[in-house]
Structure 1
Amino acid sequence: MSETDPRRWKALIFIALAQLMVVLDATIVNIALPSAQQDLGISDGNRQWVITAYALAFGGLLLFGGRIADLWGRKRTFVTGLIGFAAASALGGAATGEAMMLGARALQGVFGALLAPAALSLLAVMFTDAKERAKAFGIYGAIAGGGGAVGLILGGFLTEYLNWRWTFFVNIPFAVIAALGAYFVIREPAGARNRSPLDIPGVILSTLGLVALVYGFTRAESAGWSDSLTVGMFVGSAVLLAAFVLVEAKVKSPLLPLRVLTERNRGGVYLSLGLAIIAMFGLFLFLTYYLQIVKGFSPVKTGFAFLPMIVGMITGSTQIGARLMTRVAPRLLMGPGFVVAALGMLLLTQLEIGTSYAGLILPAQLLLGLGMGTAFMPAMSLATHGVEPRDSGVASAMVNTSQQVGGAIGTALLNTIAASATTAYIADHAAGATTPAAQKLVQAQAMVEGYTSAIWWAVGILAAAAAIAFALINTGAQSGSPAASGSGDSEGAEDEVRIPVVAH
């Protein structure tokens, strides 16, 4: 697609729709889980696998999915991913038992791992003009950041007024419309494929290493950090990923060329984005529990309570990030963005049982959304900026990998911190609660104590993300031709702009 081809903007609609489906699927099932568990007879011990099966397949296969997009063609991979995701969603919605549900969730993860890197890398090779790239990534960044909160609203609405099965079935129209639109509208630039042979050892080591890492954090949440299998998973993951790096440094056609990872700006993006996602996922979890259990909100009301965050995210991404990206260095958007988000998170450390939604939670969410939207937008663009076209799929996959691993770490780490603070509070105050009413109050207060302890950690994590953005990201404003510093990528970036256009 040439820079004057209006179909690129139509293509963006279908890419954004697909990305929204993948992102909201990470949270939409959370609200429906209690109903699905009851209907399908899933035990409490296996309940977490409905979430974990998706996370493991998605997180573990992302690098492979990104490489497939580079090898096979992004449009073809994108459409295949959408069709597969729709089929897996239909299977999940029609599930008659535990095995069928878990299999469907794993399949959703597999096709999501094809779909997500292909979507981002299509944007990277289609939008090369700086101003248009800023607009396109502004829209994409708002969806990538706000989709989780949209999932909570949609999940609450479908569960309360229809049936938990609709949290799966709702993906089918999304996927079909996006696949048809992509098939007829997207014209992928020629010359951007990487036809070198597939690095099979790299695929095996990266997939097993990432699966072990994600599962280690997921298991730590339920079994504890000192559990032998949890520790074994972390050790195994470290060994496998170290072996993966050694293999990638030596093979002729690596799955993840180290040039993608070692360029300081992209490295800074992957690291700071992963940390920010740790804080965000933890917050979604605690605020959902706080609103439903402590404040007594219905699933639908809880979903709508997240609207200020979505509004802030869209405003930060499209009105601040997109407008300033071509004039301001990315670190001057990302660093302050994470600081503003940390200030919003800091407000939430003041949560109490009787906290006013309008007085504290709403302004905190607006700050969080504005900060995250402003930071996410240049981060998404910079992650694929100046990358050689043949590497754009795997560079995009690294963005998604840092988000997936960050989400798994955030849920497990912050949940564990919250649980231990809650237990400690109950141990200290249980003796004084002699009536049922007093015991109930101590229980609620203990929960809030747990949430605020974990939120303090999230504040620190966001501050670390801001520090990394300021320290590592040193490229200038993304105007003119892409200017990646330090790794010889700028030559590849020029190639990206000059790619001849052919219709598939």
Structure 2
Amino acid sequence: MTTHAPAAPIAARTAPARSRALALAVLCAGMLMIVLDGSIVTVALPAIQDDLHFSPADLTWTVNAYLIAFGGLLLLAGRLGDLIGRKQVFVAGLVLFTAASLLCALATGQGVLIAARFLQGVGGAMTSSVSLGMIVTLFPEPRERGRAIGAFSFVGAAGASIGQVLGGVLTEALDWHWIFLINLPLGLAAALLAVRVLEGDRGPGLRAGADALGAALVTGALMLGIYTLVGAGEHGWASARTLGLGALSLALLAGFLLRQARAAQPLLPLRMFRSRDVSGANAVQVLMVSGLFAFQILIALYLQNVRGYGAAATGLAMLPAALAIGTVSLVLSARLNARFGERPVLLAGLGLLVVALALLTRLPADADYVLDLLPTMLSAAGFGLAISALTALGMSGAGPADAGTASGLFNTTQQVGGALGVAVLTTLADGRARALTAAGQPAAEALTGGFRLAFAVAAGLLSVALLLAATVLRPGVNAADSQAG
């Protein structure tokens, strides 16, 4: 039975279209800075390693420190937004992220950079966790909400690829410090505009249900879980360290779920999972993002380590994917969602992504860009279709009171999927490459063989996501009109 969304706050219903458009632009600008920073660092890692004398193992912590803080704090930050006001959490996150970016740029030692990256993750979690919730309350009308989510999805989808281009250009033309300095004008401008443009939405306060025990359990479970995943490649999946920490993380998560079932004011109301669309969308997202890390990260490694591309050339090679994703998510996705519903659009997008990854399973060591890589870049347009539909479905159970929590949950599954994809796919690629090298294959052939295995597994993950979306998500129901029981 279809029910309608609760009425949005008065400010959201009566705000002029122009002011809501400005608010959406500010939210997108804040998200763009977070997304750009997440990808802009990847192509600058070799330069950072040389300058600060990182070992290969220690270098990964410039990424892992950010992932652990970001993924671990999203749920808590989203709930705090519901309780003390999403605008306050959004602005505070921007300020912290910008200050941490300055600290990253000024870092002259490994410890300072890693600590600053952790602080960036905290600020990024605060900003990202409440953004979708604010969009849901700003745009209660289904068609307008669809267009707003399409624009927001465009920023997230295309921004990652654009970050690789920008990171390569800045690193080669100037130096790696500038990939962080560029955040200063963006962050300050976004924070100042947010104070002026975003409507105040002060919540009921921490006494209304902060659930400190639940917050400690889930934050500990997520941080420890992501820490375990990102270290599994180095220590081994069957090592005592990985199994022990993984078991502890699962125990904390089980304790959190038990707490949520009994708490009077839970951090994450389990009723949200009664919606098949919400539960299914978050599960599909974990699989989809896990698989797509093969595209974003492993293709960049292939271009640099096998084909000999520089940082800027690698970013430019990824540009067609950014353009395809951006065009589809900004121009087509909202219209298609409104006409056909989110589920068919999601299935079409996932189908395209399966094709994109399947094409890479035949990638040769001496690939021709136009013949072997460009078709995959263009097929990445499927992400523009899938992420917009998936976002609408993932937020379909959110009312005004828990929009921040739903937003934090959706962003959390995205980060968990990303960490899982990095850990599993890079480990598989590295293990296969080592085995092929030991068997006597040339380095380029061995590396490519490892990448092909990872691409095959990624295609399998996306195929499972497609099957899950087809069987779990409800046909014929528009997410904007669907609410969790």
Q: Tell me if TM exceeds 0.5.
A: yes
Q: By how many angstroms is 1:190 displaced?
A: 7.2
Match status 1:411 vs 2:409: no
1:172 to 181, 184, 194: 184
Is the CA contact 1:82–1:115 (under 8 Å) kept in the aligned structure 2?
yes
In the superposition, relative to structure 1, how do residues 91 and 316 fare at CA in structure 2: closer, same or farther (>3 Å)?
A: same
In 2: Cα distance, 1:133 partner to 1:3 partner = 14
Is the CA contact 1:265–1:475 (under 8 Å) kept in the aligned structure 2?
no
Q: Deviations over 1:408-440 (max 9, x none)?
A: 11011001111121122122235xxxxxxxxxx
In the superposition, relative to structure 1, how do residues 291 and 53 fare at CA in structure 2: closer, same or farther (>3 Å)?
A: same
Q: Give ranges in structure 1 of 5+ residues lacking alignment.
A: 431-441, 489-504
| Alignment partner, residue 6 of structure 2 | none
| Alignment partner, residue 498 of structure 1 | none
Look up the equivalent residue of 2:157 and give its one-letter code.
Answer: G
Q: By how many angstroms is 1:181 displaced?
A: 1.3
| Alignment partner, residue 89 of structure 1 | 101
- Secondary structure of 1:429's partner? coil
In 1: Cα distance, 2:95 partner to 2:163 partner = 20
Q: Deviations over 1:2-38 (max 9, x none)?
A: 2643111111111111111111222211222222222
Q: By how many angstroms is 1:154 displaced?
A: 1.1
Is the CA contact 2:354–2:463 (under 8 Å) kept in the aligned structure 1?
yes
Match status 1:380 vs 2:391: yes
- Secondary structure of 2:264's partner? coil
In the superposition, relative to structure 1, how do residues 189 and 199 fare at CA in structure 2: closer, same or farther (>3 Å)?
A: closer
Is the CA contact 1:249–1:258 (under 8 Å) kept in the aligned structure 2?
yes
In 2: Cα distance, 1:377 partner to 1:174 partner = 25
**Percent identity for Structure 1 against Structure 2:** 36
Is the CA contact 1:150–1:310 (under 8 Å) kept in the aligned structure 2?
yes
Within a 5 Å distance, the mapping from 1:1-20 to structure 2 comes to 1=12, 2=14, 4-20=16-32
In 1: Cα distance, 2:202 partner to 2:116 partner = 35
In 2: Cα distance, 1:387 partner to 1:167 partner = 36
Q: By how many angstroms is 1:298 displaced?
A: 1.2
1:483 to 478, 481, 484: 481
Match status 1:462 vs 2:462: yes
Is the CA contact 1:124–1:385 (under 8 Å) kept in the aligned structure 2?
no
Is the CA contact 2:278–2:393 (under 8 Å) kept in the aligned structure 1?
yes
Is the CA contact 1:32–1:159 (under 8 Å) kept in the aligned structure 2?
yes
1:79 to 86, 91, 100: 91
- Secondary structure of 1:327's partner? helix
Look up the equivalent residue of 1:49 and give its one-letter code.
Answer: W
| Alignment partner, residue 146 of structure 1 | 158
User: What is the TM-score normalised by the length of structure 1?
Assistant: 0.91
4+ residue stretches of structure 1 with deviation over 4 A?
Answer: 188-195
In 1: Cα distance, 2:292 partner to 2:189 partner = 29
| Alignment partner, residue 314 of structure 1 | 326
- Secondary structure of 2:30's partner? helix
Is the CA contact 2:87–2:201 (under 8 Å) kept in the aligned structure 1?
no
Q: Deviations over 1:426-462 (max 9, x none)?
A: 22235xxxxxxxxxxx110000000011100111111
Within a 5 Å distance, the mapping from 1:301-340 to structure 2 comes to 301-340=313-352
In the superposition, relative to structure 1, how do residues 475 and 256 fare at CA in structure 2: closer, same or farther (>3 Å)?
A: farther
CA RMSD across the alignment: 1.7
Q: By how many angstroms is 1:358 displaced?
A: 0.9
- Secondary structure of 1:355's partner? coil
Match status 1:394 vs 2:392: no
Q: Deviations over 1:50-82 (max 9, x none)?
A: 111111011111111101111111111111110
Look up the equivalent residue of 1:456 and give its one-letter code.
Answer: A
Look up the equivalent residue of 1:397 and give its one-letter code.
Answer: G
Look up the equivalent residue of 2:226 and give its one-letter code.
Answer: V
Q: By how many angstroms is 1:191 displaced?
A: 7.2
Q: Deviations over 1:452-493 (max 9, x none)?
A: 1110011111111111111121164538xx4225x43xxxxx
| Alignment partner, residue 371 of structure 1 | 382
In the superposition, relative to structure 1, how do residues 386 and 235 fare at CA in structure 2: closer, same or farther (>3 Å)?
A: closer
Match status 1:342 vs 2:375: no
| Alignment partner, residue 436 of structure 1 | none
| Alignment partner, residue 448 of structure 1 | 448
In 2: Cα distance, 1:286 partner to 1:48 partner = 15
In 1: Cα distance, 2:476 partner to 2:25 partner = 29
Is the CA contact 1:142–1:313 (under 8 Å) kept in the aligned structure 2?
yes
| Alignment partner, residue 431 of structure 2 | 420
**Count of residue pairs the alignment pairs up:** 473
Is the CA contact 1:153–1:303 (under 8 Å) kept in the aligned structure 2?
yes
Is the CA contact 1:327–1:478 (under 8 Å) kept in the aligned structure 2?
no
Look up the equivalent residue of 1:319 and give its one-letter code.
Answer: V
Q: By how many angstroms is 1:177 displaced?
A: 1.3
